[in-house]
Amino acid sequence: MNPESTNRKNLLGRITNQAQWDLLVIGGGATGLGVALEAISRGYKTLLVEQADFAKGTSSRSTKLVHGGVRYLAQGDVKLVREASIERGLLHRNAPHLVKDQTFIVPVYSFWSRLKYSIGLKLYDRIAGKLSLGHSVFISKEETIKKLPGIKTQGLKGGVLYYDGQFDDSRLAINLAQTIIEQGGVAINYVKVTGLHKNANGTINGASLIDTESGTLLNVNAKALVNATGVFVDDILQMDKPGSAKTICASQGVHVVLSKSFFPSEHALMIPQTSDGRVLFAVPWHNKVVVGTTDTPIKDVVLEPVALDKEIDFILDTAGAYLTKKPTRNDVLSVFAGLRPLAAPQGEQQQTKEISRSHKIIVSPSKLFTMLGGKWTTYRKMGEDMLDSIEKELQWQFTTSGTATMHIHGYSENTNWQHPFYYYGSDEAFLESQVKAAKSDWLSEELHIHPQQVVWAVHYEMARTVEDFLSRRTRALFLDAAESRRIAPDVANIMAIELGESETWKAAQLAAFNQVSEKYLL
């Protein structure tokens, strides 16, 4: 990828030089990126702006699964499971450097559990059809113990093995932003919408923006505007019409990250029944284990949510009931929380865990298009549905989606999942050549982070802050918060050189990162 195409000055110049955009997308998470990529695939001039960093919020804090959703099947939402299963297969084809097949095992401790999960997961296979990643099968007690070392053996009858997908969420977000730029669009972080423009009829036709780095004000004209800001959609709706009814019901999901010693398996563990009625996963990821999640209703929506003690205790207690080596708070390498943007139910109150994860599009009288709900797995379908809705509502000529077969930046069919740079895909070889040429030591041998990755992130991946690099260009903060804090000064030094920043900038960056990373430590 040409570094000039992701240069911030050049991207800002493209914004001001474009007299009118077909589509302005607000929000650089899964939803916004999916909408922008879809628009580009249909030939529309597309601008995406994100007030913070790409995937800064919910979209970097998932369980790292590309899945049909076993839990949604249990709730009877067959339509969502079918849709997600299809999208899982398409994403696996289009980003094979980030999405891989993952085997899951449900340990069973009774005959009834064996029957229930065997039948349920066979149905899960059938719903996926040709895009199924593999067939579920019952395995013996001996085989379950072999595949799940560390699992509680008392009363174990065996296990049900099934297949789903696993991915790296924020790396996918960065690759989608790169793809949008490569395809002729603009995707830029740290640009915030401060106001909406309307014509004499009250129809939206543009927006006021601010480059939060320089304070520069920008005005853009756009034929259509999409509010894809996740848990913050109500802020934009209020901007459109003060006093608008609340549309989002936020739910917090928390994950803890543990050493592989607690669960030294390449298979993922799925605990189907917990005390809060959810399923709990223990998933191998970047040589660690991610365990989660929770479902806690949250009133105050913030960009950096904090895990509650009761959520952490719930995860550790539930995991401890299934593992012979029980994890404690002292064993947690990192804890992260994310907020789900659920479409607020009308009328009868529901618990957040019962609210459908299906997406919903609403169109304001001003022709502001807003996406509610949704999930990472269906991001592409959400974009397709949004563009269909825009074309119908604004009476544009119907165009055909091109995203079902569009390769995402980094596409590589021969991914070596054991290589520390595997998630760079087709960029891996060039990055590795730079690492060898630099002949410098690792910043972190434990997390396989090298100084050249910092340089790469600045010039090719639009990293602007220390946190951008340690949280989302690499996953250091999510994998080991203490280690990420140790190497943060080195990262700041390298970024300051590459960005031409001062000692004052470095000090501010470290202070900001330490404040954020404190929330990931126990």
Q: Which fold would CATH assign to domain 80-167+249-349?
A: D-Amino Acid Oxidase; Chain A, domain 2 (3.30.9)
Q: Where are the beta strands (DSSP E) in 260-377?
A: 268-271, 280-285, 288-292, 296-297, 334-343, 360-363, 368-372
What mean pLDDT value characterizes the chain? Answer: 92
pLDDT band at 345 (very low <50, low <70, confident <90, very high): low
pLDDT of 131 higher than 80: no
Q: Where are the beta strands (DSSP E) in 68-174?
A: 100-108, 137-139, 158-166
φ, ψ dihedrals at 454, nearest 5°: -65, -45
What does the pLDDT look like over 251-275, one tens digit per residue?
999 999 999 999 999 999 998 877 7
Q: Which two tokens stand for residue 517?
A: 């990373």
Each residue's pLDDT tens digit, 433-463: 999 999 899 999 999 999 999 999 999 999 9
Q: How confident is the model at residue 347 (pLDDT cuts 50, 70, 90)?
A: very low
Above 50 in pLDDT, residue 62? yes
CB-count burial class (<10 Å; 0-12, 13-18, 19+) for 405: exposed
Given a contact cutoff of 8 angstroms between Cβ atoms, the answer to whether 209 and 220 are in contact is yes
Q: Where are the domains of the chain?
A: 3-58+170-247+353-393, 80-167+249-349, 422-520
Please list, in sequence order, all residues whose beta carbon lies within 8 angstroms of the beta carbon of residue 16, skipping any fewer than 6 positions away. Answer: 218
Longest dimension (CA), the chain: 73
| CATH architecture assignment, domain 422-520 | Orthogonal Bundle (1.10)
Topology of the domain comprising 3-58+170-247+353-393: FAD/NAD(P)-binding domain (3.50.50)
Q: Given a cut of 90, is residue 425 above it in pLDDT?
A: yes
